[in-house]
A and B are shown apart, each in its own frame.
Chain A
Amino acid sequence: MAQDLGTVRAVLKERRNELLAKPNVVAAGIGFKTVQGNGDATLSIVCSVTHKVRAELLSPQDRIPESIAGVPTDIVSTGPFYAFQARTDRHRPAPGGVSLGHRDITAGTLGCLVRRNNQVFILSNNHVLANSNDATVGDPILQPGPFDGARWPADQIAELSEFVPLRFIGAPSDCSFAGAIARVLNALARMVGSDTRLKPVTMQVGENHVDAAIARPLAADLVTPELLEIGRIQGLGRGELGMAIKKSGRTTGLTQGQILQVDVTVDVQYGAGRVARFTDQLLAGAMSQGGDSGSAVLDSGNRLVGLLFAGSPTSTVINRIERVFSALRVTL
């Protein structure tokens, strides 16, 4: 028997608490009954359940009746409902894809969890966890990142364990010969009253393969191996030309892309005039913005292929995960 909306509403209002008290029921509302092969627009009371259980396995009082006061019921499996939490919020346990960073930076992304000797570590970029080389092992790592309102020590989630040093173009040289010559010439300059001094810098372009670091969680239950909106990582993959990829990051969330270039040599700006050259990189189209650095990059089968670290308005640059893992001696 077809019911009008007013009648169904009245029935729902009267009986919804009774329905919500039943096991596994997480929501009750009004919708058209979905019957396979039947396009009838019949109004029904729709009960959302975490999972469906065969009626004979439930005690009679736990079953959802076929109809309530003449109104048909429908049962849909939705899983549990969660309040949507922003990626810039505090998350405990923290999944991959949320805001995080060293105490002295703005914010980056928690990539994923990795292992070394049965110890779990958070993987992200050097410039996220180690402030582009300007950090000390043991420094506090905050979730969310400082830009997203984190306070120390309340929001500390981990401590810096290890980073692969970035080699910048034109960085101060540690060559003792060049240093000695500069000292002699600077002494001469002082003697003749000049204000100018010489400073030896590295002219040879140091090559980088990764912008990567790991941090050790203060406790195992502060982190989870899930990636926000992706789920679990299903092993390791290898980035290939044309491959469809995705990432879960602090700023732009879940985005998809394609590997458009491989074997990429690229100069990346780190602010304050610092530039680092990277080789053997993967390049995708626009799929990230500032704050997405450190995101894990996966293929369509959720295999981990890269670590996102840089980009422009039209492109995204990604370290190969095999390079990251060998540089830090970690595994999944």
Chain B
Amino acid sequence: MRPIFFLAAMRVTIQDVKKQHESRLMSMPGVVSVGVGQKPDGTPVIVVGLDRPRPTTMAQLPQSLDGYPVRVEFLGEIKAQ
């Protein structure tokens, strides 16, 4: 029973969660980026960047992933400068 208890108590990092969901998120229409940001109080958040407001994609995006909040930002198209 000990190992199971240990696994249950361990929390996956936000980087692990982001990595796990990243390719699915990046394949959604209008998604240009997925990264790790923070709230003003320092709480880590998964930030999904969109090229413009995308109602369908936004409706499909989860509010949180494995307990980490998901925030949407409109970044515009990212171009080499």
> Which residues of A pack against B, CB within 8 Å?
108, 125, 127, 132, 205, 211, 241-242, 260-271, 277, 281, 283, 288-293, 308-315, 317
The residues of B that contact A271 with a CB separation of less than 8 Å are 79-80
The answer to whether B76 and A312 have CB atoms under 8 Å apart is: yes
The answer to whether B74 and A314 have CB atoms under 8 Å apart is: yes
C-alpha spacing A309/B36, complex, angstroms = 19
Given A241-B38, A283-B35, the answer on whether A261 and B81 have CB atoms closer than 8 Å is: no
A109 CB to nearest chain B CB (Å): 9
The residues of B that contact A314 with a CB separation of less than 8 Å are 74-76
The answer to whether B38 and A293 have CB atoms under 8 Å apart is: no
* Stretch from B1-9, B26-34, B57-65 that touches the partner: B26-34
The residues of B that contact A281 with a CB separation of less than 8 Å are 35
Interface of B is mostly: strand
Scoring B22, B32, B35, B47 by chain A CB atoms within 10 A of each residue's CB, the highest score goes to B35
Q: Does B37 contact A (CB under 8 A)?
A: yes
The residues of A that contact B47 with a CB separation of less than 8 Å are 261
The answer to whether A293 and B33 have CB atoms under 8 Å apart is: no
The answer to whether A264 and B33 have CB atoms under 8 Å apart is: yes
The answer to whether B35 and A265 have CB atoms under 8 Å apart is: yes
24 contacts between A and B (CB under 8 A): A132-B80, A261-B35, A262-B35, A264-B33, A264-B36, A265-B26, A265-B35, A266-B32, A266-B33, A266-B35, A267-B33, A268-B78, A269-B77, A270-B79, A271-B79, A281-B35, A283-B33, A290-B81, A293-B80, A310-B80, A312-B75, A313-B76, A314-B74, A315-B76
Q: Does B15 contact A (CB under 8 A)?
A: yes
The answer to whether A127 and B37 have CB atoms under 8 Å apart is: no
C-alpha spacing A269/B81, complex, angstroms = 10
The residues of B that contact A261 with a CB separation of less than 8 Å are 33, 35-37, 47
Shortest 4 CB-CB contacts between residues of A and residues of B: A264-B35, A261-B35, A312-B76, A266-B33
Scoring A242, A312, A314 by chain B CB atoms within 10 A of each residue's CB, the highest score goes to A312
The answer to whether B18 and A312 have CB atoms under 8 Å apart is: no
The residues of B that contact A270 with a CB separation of less than 8 Å are 79-80
Given A261-B47, A263-B15, A314-B74, the answer on whether A269 and B80 have CB atoms closer than 8 Å is: yes
The answer to whether A266 and B37 have CB atoms under 8 Å apart is: no
C-alpha spacing A290/B15, complex, angstroms = 31
The answer to whether B80 and A211 have CB atoms under 8 Å apart is: yes
C-alpha spacing A26/B15, complex, angstroms = 57
Q: Besides A267-B32, A312-B75, A315-B78, 8 other CB < 8 A contacts?
A: A127-B80, A260-B37, A263-B18, A264-B36, A270-B80, A310-B80, A312-B79, A315-B49
Given A290-B81, A315-B76, the answer on whether A241 and B26 have CB atoms closer than 8 Å is: no
C-alpha spacing A219/B7, complex, angstroms = 60
The answer to whether B81 and A288 have CB atoms under 8 Å apart is: yes
B26 CB to nearest chain A CB (Å): 6
Given A263-B15, A263-B18, A266-B49, the answer on whether A312 and B78 have CB atoms closer than 8 Å is: yes
A63 CB to nearest chain B CB (Å): 53
Scoring B34, B75, B80 by chain A CB atoms within 10 A of each residue's CB, the highest score goes to B80
The answer to whether B78 and A311 have CB atoms under 8 Å apart is: yes
The residues of B that contact A242 with a CB separation of less than 8 Å are 38
C-alpha spacing A142/B35, complex, angstroms = 36
The answer to whether B81 and A292 have CB atoms under 8 Å apart is: yes
The answer to whether A267 and B78 have CB atoms under 8 Å apart is: yes
B36 CB to nearest chain A CB (Å): 5
The answer to whether A315 and B75 have CB atoms under 8 Å apart is: yes
A318 CB to nearest chain B CB (Å): 11
The residues of B that contact A292 with a CB separation of less than 8 Å are 81
The answer to whether A241 and B80 have CB atoms under 8 Å apart is: no
The residues of A that contact B15 with a CB separation of less than 8 Å are 263
C-alpha spacing A293/B76, complex, angstroms = 18
A332 CB to nearest chain B CB (Å): 24
